[in-house]
């Protein structure tokens, strides 16, 4: 009898230990997060945005935000599913219930808050101006020139606001934006600083102006009204920020 009791105790302990080791995952996920594909965290992204999201040689989407999302999904006990599309479509997917989150270097904007719920911000960025070397474009005379941007981005929205539609051309991807600059179809490009550095490094003859156009905060945009999702992601994100993981991922891709 004693032996049976002892065995039962051991069995109970093992069950406890198993439960406890899964405890952390269960904790973050136990609010029963509803997602568009059960058991998955489906994110929409535009992988033309190195070092935050870009395609590797095998065609996988990698980068700062993909590494962060992989860890967040793991903490929530969800499988990460990445859906690639252009930026405008990525913003739309989350509004149409096709993805749970848009993870695409998304800047927190009041007008976007009307259609999606933002998580906490995890980093800041600056809108900068890329020009061909030797160009006479400056921040002060920007409005006299033809500006290239990615459609739907803050660069596009700010420039249309400040200089009017006639001065701004929106392209689907940054690859096309940079191509237009190299071809002389636009005089300059407004885009996010870390990404601008990557494109300038890959395309000789381009340079970034010193003056900053706008400073902004990046976050992830979730389906509107899914409080469990926002809370769950925020909880996981906070852990990853508090223990230095987010910073070390960023530092791996962005020097300084
Ligand atoms: N931060 C800018 C915005 O929210 C640009 C984001 C573009 N992202 C991308 N993956 N192409 O509008």
Q: Give 49-107 pLDDT, tens digit per residue.
A: 999 999 999 999 999 999 999 999 999 999 999 999 999 999 999 999 999 999 999 99
Is the CB of 150 within 6 Å of ligand 1? yes
How far apart CA 102 and CA 113 sit, in angstroms, is 13
Is the CB of 61 within 6 Å of ligand 1? no
pLDDT at 32: 86
Whole-number average pLDDT of the chain:
91
Judge whether 104 and 152 are in contact, CB under 8 Å.
no
How far apart CA 226 and CA 95 sit, in angstroms, is 12
pLDDT at 3: 53
Decide: helix, strand or coil at residue 218: strand
Assign 255 a pLDDT band (cuts: 50, 70, 90): confident
Pocket perturbation via mutation, ligand 1, pick of 87, 156, 171, 190 by most ligand atoms within 8 A of CB? 87
DSSP 100: S
Specify the pTM.
Answer: 0.87
Rounded mean pLDDT of 155-183?
97
62 phi, psi to nearest 5 deg = -130, 180
Is the CB of 48 within 6 Å of ligand 1? yes
Q: Please report, in angstroms and rounded to a whole number, the separation of the first and last CA atoms in the chain.
A: 66
Q: Is the pLDDT of residue 24 over 90?
A: no
Within 10 Å of residue 57's Cβ, how many Cβ atoms?
5
DSSP 136: -
Task: Tell me the per-residue pLDDT of 193-250, one tens digit each, with 9 for 90 and over.
Answer: 999 999 999 999 999 999 999 999 999 999 999 999 999 999 999 999 999 999 999 9
DSSP 53-66: EEE-TTS-EESHHH
Give the pairing type, strands 206-208 and 188-192: unpaired
Pocket perturbation via mutation, ligand 1, pick of 94, 104, 112, 115 by most ligand atoms within 8 A of CB? 104
């Amino acid at each position: 009898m004693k032996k049976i009791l002892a065995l039962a105790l051991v069995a109970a302990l093992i069950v406890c230990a198993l439960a406890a080791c899964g405890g952390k995952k269960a904790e973050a996920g136990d609010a029963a997060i509803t997602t568009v594909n059960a058991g998955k965290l489906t994110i929409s992204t535009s992988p033309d945005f190195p070092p935050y999201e870009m395609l590797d040689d095998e065609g996988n989407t990698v980068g700062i935000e993909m590494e962060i999302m992989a860890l967040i999904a793991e903490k929530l006990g969800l499988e990460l599913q990445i859906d690639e599309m252009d930026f405008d479509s990525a913003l739309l997917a989350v509004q149409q219930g096709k993805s749970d989150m848009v993870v695409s270097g998304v800047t927190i904007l009041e007008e976007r808050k009307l259609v999606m719920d933002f998580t906490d911000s995890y980093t800041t960025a600056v809108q900068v101006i890329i020009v061909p070397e030797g160009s006479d474009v400056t921040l002060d005379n920007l409005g006299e020139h033809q500006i290239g941007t990615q459609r739907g981005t803050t660069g596009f929205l700010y420039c249309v606001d400040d200089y009017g539609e006639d001065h701004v051309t929106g392209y689907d991807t940054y690859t096309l934006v940079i191509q237009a600059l190299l071809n002389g179809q636009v005089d300059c490009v407004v885009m996010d600083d870390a990404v601008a550095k990557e494109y300038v490094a890959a395309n000789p003859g381009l340079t970034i102006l010193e003056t900053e156009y706008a400073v902004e905060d990046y976050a992830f945009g979730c389906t509107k009204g899914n409080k469990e999702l926002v809370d769950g992601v925020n909880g996981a994100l906070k852990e990853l920020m508090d223990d230095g993981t987010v910073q070390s991922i960023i530092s791996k891709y962005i020097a300084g």
